A and B are shown apart, each in its own frame.
Chain A
Amino acid sequence: MASHRVLPGFRLSLSYAIAYLSVLVLIPLAACLTKASSLTTSQFVAAVWSAQARSAYLVTFGSSAVAGVIDTVLGLLLAWVFVRYDFPFKRLLDSLIDLPFALPTAVAGLVYSSLYSQNGWLGQFLVPAGIKLAYSQAAIVFVLVFIGLPFVVRTVQPVLESIDADIEEAAACLGANRWQTFTRILLPSLYPALTTGFALTFARAIGEYGSVVFVSANIPFETQIAPHLIVQKLEDFKYAEASAVAVVLLVASFAMLIVINALERRSEAANSSAN
């Protein structure tokens, strides 16, 4: 087949990309599926739908969703502040937002648990007051919020920057007050970015392990998350069952990715329609 591409090396780069993807993603995934398929259907169901597993999914998806919602609100607020106002050390603070991307999440988990545990600097005041921000579901949400925050800020910020001041001025001239301008004009323009930010945070939170194991006590039926359940099964040498739970998480993550992609496409379409 004759190639009419301007740049040479299409076949080479495609083969390279596929090989790379195979080594890193496709082969491990296939291995995971193969391992899980060594179980019979009833064994599979028993592994992935036990009471403990269901509770772990609930903790994982529930706290991820709550963290996602909190991040969406906080992230919008932060993006707003960074785009709309000037203040000292703005650039420094702006770069600190990305810290969770770079910091090993286990470090965050360790710091949080030592701060908020009963003997910690802050925990010694909070725990007697009934606020348990370590070894509880609240603790899990707490670290997930930290991990996911940059996703929302970084998706909302550029969209907010692209909104011209004259849009708000037009609304004001038409008689809208600040609140009406925000809810009817600005927020609708931000919906696609906010949904994408939420979805990214949510997906990231489902996969989070490092920080959560330190702040949750990993108590089954209470604060055990699904990734920890996998580790627990591995420690019991139940490799096939561990793979089965992994497959469930895999399917969930894959579904999330599809949703994210669809939302991003919609978001792009909305942004490209700028004048």
Chain B
Amino acid sequence: MSIVVKNLSKQFGSFKALDNVSLEAQSGALLALLGPSGSGKTTLLRIIAGLESADQGQVMYADEDVTQQSPKDRQVGFVFQHYALFRHMTVYENVAFGMRVRKKSNAEIKSRVNELLHLVRLEGLNQRYPSQLSGGQRQRVALARALAVQPRILLLDEPFGALDAKVRQELRQWLRQLHDEIHLTTVFVTHDQEEAFEVADRVVVMRSGHIEQSGTPQEVFDHPATPFVMDFLGNVNVFHGRVENGMAMMGALNIAYPEYPHAESRQATAYVRPHELDIERIPFGASSLEVRVLQLNPAGSVAKVRVFSEQFGVALNVDLNLERYAELRLHPGDLVYVAARRVRVFMPGTQDYEI
């Protein structure tokens, strides 16, 4: 079942949590709402679930307008960040709760609960209490409980936020697999871009109450629409300079920028990701930047090199692959040259983004 959100606005006192947000999640999609805290992503999710009411706008499940329906009637599965399990009930009773209040027969409840506990791989734990489970197990009980009422859509609010890194990683992959098995339209909220990219089909990046960009993970990562998205999706190096005549000039770094062919010079900012920078021992061409090596950290899948540019007065992060790193034999204090393979230039005025 698809979810359509039309022109939603929501205000808490003087704080605009959502400002005219529209969104569509296609039937069977797995969509991530990604953004920093205060961006409105949780509010949006809660309005979709009916836990919060919008000041303006519409929420539709397929063709049905559910804007005025209470959460009880919407038949949604909702998973809370802190699980919200009923602590006086066993795992079995937690999962059965939604069917008990719907007055299903005991036999039906039993077979459905067992089926779900099998699905979330918690067979044998049905007589445990939530306090006797680990965080990851609790979250899977919460998920089984949400699925027990055969929801039309599944909504998850920072589902792995309270778990430690390793369990989080496992559950992410597991959630993706589960989604591929049951094909339920799913929306989940996260502030972790890695999580969003790994799990979701589509990523919606939010910022202060509106949608900054939406698209597939690949689209969003490779073509960030705004400096905010660029910055939010991971470590970036920022250069301030100007653009004119199809060139972006960032100090000693000159980069072709055909998007701006005009003669009039304008202020611009360039963003380069650490893995898009190269290091050479000798200057190459007219567009390399002299820097001094500050720190080296080769422990990991890439070698992280931190260098300092006197000209800009900023430290830059460069990621090198390990072969290249071994070749260069860098030492702290070395003078080297940095060039960018790829640069994204944003001109202020066309966007409302400030550094």
Across the interface, do A173 and B49 meet the contact criterion of CB distance under 8 Å?
A: yes
- In the assembled complex, the Cα of A166 lies from the Cα of B46 at a distance in Å of 11
CB-CB < 8 A to B70: which residues of A?
172
Looking across the interface, which residue of chain A has its beta carbon closest to that of B102?
A: A175
Q: Which of B2-10, B13-21, B80-88 contacts A (4 or more CB under 8 A)?
A: B80-88
Query: Can you list, as one digit per residue, whether each of B149-187 has a CB less than 8 Å from chain A (1) or not (0)?
Result: 100000000000000000000000000000000000000
CB-CB < 8 A to A270: which residues of B?
87-88
Contact of A275 (CB < 8 Å), options: B78, B83, B148: B83
- Given A172-B70, A273-B131, is A166 in contact with B80 using a C-beta cutoff of 8 Å? yes
Is A164 an interface residue when CB atoms closer than 8 A count as contact? yes
Which residues of B, 39-80, contact A by the 8 Å Cβ criterion?
Answer: 49, 51, 70-72, 74-78, 80
Across the interface, do B82 and A166 meet the contact criterion of CB distance under 8 Å?
A: yes
Across the interface, do B130 and A273 meet the contact criterion of CB distance under 8 Å?
A: yes
Is B304 an interface residue when CB atoms closer than 8 A count as contact? no
CB-CB < 8 A to B131: which residues of A?
272-275
Is B273 an interface residue when CB atoms closer than 8 A count as contact? no
- In the assembled complex, the Cα of A172 lies from the Cα of B49 at a distance in Å of 10
Across the interface, do B82 and A175 meet the contact criterion of CB distance under 8 Å?
A: no
Interface hub of A164, A170, A171, A272 (most chain B Cβ within 10 A): A170
Query: Can you list, as one digit per residue, whether each of A20-55 has a CB less than 8 Å from chain B (1) or not (0)?
Result: 000000000000000000000000000000000000
- Given A270-B88, A273-B87, is A169 in contact with B51 using a C-beta cutoff of 8 Å? yes
Q: Nearest Cβ in chain A — how far from B296, in angstroms?
A: 42
Across the interface, do B72 and A175 meet the contact criterion of CB distance under 8 Å?
A: yes
Across the interface, do A174 and B97 meet the contact criterion of CB distance under 8 Å?
A: yes
Across the interface, do A173 and B86 meet the contact criterion of CB distance under 8 Å?
A: no
Across the interface, do B78 and A189 meet the contact criterion of CB distance under 8 Å?
A: no
Is B98 an interface residue when CB atoms closer than 8 A count as contact? yes
A contacts with B, residue count (CB < 8 A): 22
Looking across the interface, which residue of chain A has its beta carbon closest to that of B51?
A: A169
Contact-residue size bin, chain B (C-beta under 8 Å from the other chain) = 20 to 34
Q: Nearest Cβ in chain B — how far from A274, in angstroms?
A: 6
Is B138 an interface residue when CB atoms closer than 8 A count as contact? yes
Interface hub of B72, B76, B98 (most chain A Cβ within 10 A): B72
Across the interface, do B101 and A170 meet the contact criterion of CB distance under 8 Å?
A: no
CB-CB < 8 A to B97: which residues of A?
171, 174, 176, 184
Looking across the interface, which residue of chain B has its beta carbon closest to that of A167?
A: B84
Is A15 an interface residue when CB atoms closer than 8 A count as contact? no
- Given A175-B75, A175-B101, A273-B131, is A169 in contact with B84 using a C-beta cutoff of 8 Å? yes
Across the interface, do B149 and A175 meet the contact criterion of CB distance under 8 Å?
A: yes
- In the assembled complex, the Cα of A3 lies from the Cα of B279 at a distance in Å of 65
Q: Nearest Cβ in chain A — how far from B35, in angstroms?
A: 20
Give the A-B contact count at a CB cut-off of 8 A.
Answer: 79
CB-CB < 8 A to A272: which residues of B?
131
Across the interface, do A274 and B87 meet the contact criterion of CB distance under 8 Å?
A: yes
Is A188 an interface residue when CB atoms closer than 8 A count as contact? yes
Which residues of B, 111-148, contact A by the 8 Å Cβ criterion?
Answer: 129-131, 138, 142, 145-146, 148
Across the interface, do A170 and B84 meet the contact criterion of CB distance under 8 Å?
A: yes
CB-CB < 8 A to B98: which residues of A?
174-176
CB-CB < 8 A to A172: which residues of B?
51, 70-72
CB-CB < 8 A to A180: which residues of B?
101
Across the interface, do A164 and B84 meet the contact criterion of CB distance under 8 Å?
A: yes
- In the assembled complex, the Cα of A275 lies from the Cα of B132 at a distance in Å of 10
CB-CB < 8 A to A175: which residues of B?
72, 75, 98, 101-102, 149
- In the assembled complex, the Cα of A173 lies from the Cα of B77 at a distance in Å of 7
CB-CB < 8 A to B87: which residues of A?
189, 270, 273-275
Which residues of A, 133-187, contact B by the 8 Å Cβ criterion?
Answer: 164, 166-167, 169-177, 180, 184-185
Q: Nearest Cβ in chain B — how far from A181, in angstroms?
A: 9
Across the interface, do A275 and B49 meet the contact criterion of CB distance under 8 Å?
A: no
- In the assembled complex, the Cα of A185 lies from the Cα of B76 at a distance in Å of 19
Q: Nearest Cβ in chain B — how far from A195, in angstroms?
A: 14
CB-CB < 8 A to A167: which residues of B?
84, 86
A164-B84, A175-B98 given; 15 more Cβ-contact pairs under 8 Å: A166-B82, A170-B86, A171-B97, A172-B71, A173-B51, A173-B72, A173-B78, A174-B98, A188-B89, A270-B87, A270-B88, A273-B87, A273-B130, A275-B131, A275-B138
List 9 A-B residue pairs with CB atoms under 8 Å apart, sorted by A's residue number. Answer: A169-B51, A171-B101, A172-B71, A172-B72, A184-B97, A184-B101, A188-B89, A274-B131, A275-B138
What are the nearest 4 A-B pairs in CB distance? A273-B131, A174-B98, A166-B84, A170-B84
Interface residues of A (CB under 8 A from B): 164, 166-167, 169-177, 180, 184-185, 188-189, 270, 272-275
